[in-house]
């Protein structure tokens, strides 16, 4: 299942390990290291990064949406899938 992470960009929810805030020093280092290695996907369209999605394949995706917003979208999508299966 894909979720919208802002500005027409989508990610596969099955590949997401974590959705975190970029404000802590360890997350800033993680983002910088990923950018240096070419593993960062910037989906912010020039806006401030408000969340970092850590993916299964060691890539990270930067989003301008809050982690709470993204978590709500993942949860809503999971609930919709459960309803379809019934």
Closest CA to 20 of 54, 45, 47: 54
Q: 3-class SS at 36?
A: helix
In the prediction, which pLDDT does 18 show? Answer: 95
Buried b (16+ CB within 10 A) or exposed e, 23-46: eeeebeebbeebeeeeebbbbbee
The encoded tokens of residue 74 equal 């993942």
% of the chain beyond a pLDDT of 90: 88
Average pLDDT over residues 10-22: 96
The structural domains of the chain, with segments of one domain joined by +, span: 2-85
């Amino acid at each position: 299942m894909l979720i919208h992470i802002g500005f027409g960009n989508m990610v596969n929810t099955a590949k997401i390990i974590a959705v975190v805030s970029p404000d802590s020093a360890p997350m800033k280092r993680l983002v910088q290291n990923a950018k240096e290695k070419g593993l960062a996907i910037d989906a912010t369209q020039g806006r401030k990064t408000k969340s970092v999605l850590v993916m299964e394949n060691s890539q990270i995706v930067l989003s301008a949406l809050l982690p709470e917003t993204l978590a709500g979208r993942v949860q809503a999508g999971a609930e919709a899938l459960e309803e379809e299966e019934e």
